Amino acid sequence: MRRPDQIVHSRARVTSRYALMPMEGFPPSRLPGWGDAEVFVLASPRLGAEFVEYVVDLPASSTGRAERKQGVETFYYVLSGRGRVNGTANELTTGSFGLVPPDAEAPSFVAADSGTMRLLILHKRYESAPDHAAAVGCTGHVDDVAAEVWADNPSSRLQALIPDDPAFDMAMNIFTFDPGCGLPIVETHVMEHGLMFLEGRGLYYLDGEWMEAEQGDFIWMAPYCPQSYVAAGPTPTKYLYYKNVNREVPL
Ligand code: UGY
Ligand code: MN
């Protein structure tokens, strides 16, 4: 929240092809199942997205559960804090993540006594692939995921949190770009993105315009939205992004 003596100017932009929205602009709301947690809905079909993504601040010692919806898979990522997956010994720390397949019990979380746990949650309707394995889940921690050199440039590295396997219809990746590096082309592709800036700052190119972006911003990119990026701050950029993958486009 700005101090009363500050101006109200915002970098938020919402169009039919993309949205760039700093976190400060999302008022907190509540959702059934999450108790007293503050919820910030980032992307939804109301925006034009074919998925739902939100941030939840789960207070210390409290429990929250993602809603179970038929045919919908759920991804979670711990942005900060500690806790565990309820009913298991599965400890969560910053960088823990998991994908829960559509027919499994909706994930439920408990925040540690020491403070709020901030979670990123993403729901997507699972698209089955005839002749391929059924949906499966995965769990892990970002520190255990190899950072692969991307586009032959050791200054840009990609961590794929979800295995690149036809059983999965979505990717959640973390890009790291050293200062001055970024995407070497303007991409235009059928896949959608929901992108959370984790660290750093730079310039994002969205549908014809370069815009400043920084830690805490959320960006939605519609299919075929022209996009590029360059890390323009003194420290590396890290962003976590969703992408629908591995499926034909339904007609
Ligand atoms: O995987 C991607 O499409 C990625 N290169 N896009 C992006 O970072 N905007
Ligand atoms: Mn892309």
pLDDT tens profile 99-152? 999 989 888 999 999 999 999 999 999 999 887 778 899 999 999 999 999 999
DSSP state of 23: G
Give the span between the Cα atoms of 22 and 232, in whole angstroms.
Answer: 17
Stretches in the chain below the pLDDT threshold 50:
none
Is there an atom of ligand 1 within 6 Å of 175 CB? yes
| pLDDT confidence of residue 172 | 98
11 lines ligand 1 (CB under 6 A): no
Q: Look-up: residue for tokens 């005839």?
A: 130
Q: Where are the alpha helices (DSSP H) in the chain?
A: none
Q: Choose which residue among 197, 205, 207, 227 to substitute to test ligand 1 binding: the one with the highest number of ligand atoms within 8 A of its C-beta.
A: 227
Give whole-number Cα distances, 178 to 117, 142, 236, in Å.
28, 18, 4
Q: Does residue 243's CB lie within 6 angstroms of at least one atom of ligand 1? A: yes
pTM of the predicted model as reported, rounded to 2 decimal places: 0.97
Give, for ligand 1, the residue of 162, 175, 218 to mutate: max count of ligand atoms closer than 8 Å to Cβ: 175
- For residue 90, the model assigns a pLDDT of 83
Ligand 2 center to residue 162 CA distance, Å?
Answer: 16
CA-CA-CA-CA dihedral for 125, 130, 132, 136, to nearest 10: 20
Q: Considering only CA atoms, which of 218, 214, 221 is closest in space to residue 244?
A: 221
Ligand 1 nearest-atom number relative to CA 221: 9
Ligand 1 neighbourhood includes 193 CB (under 6 angstroms): yes
- Residue 58 Cα to ligand 2 midpoint, Å, equals 30
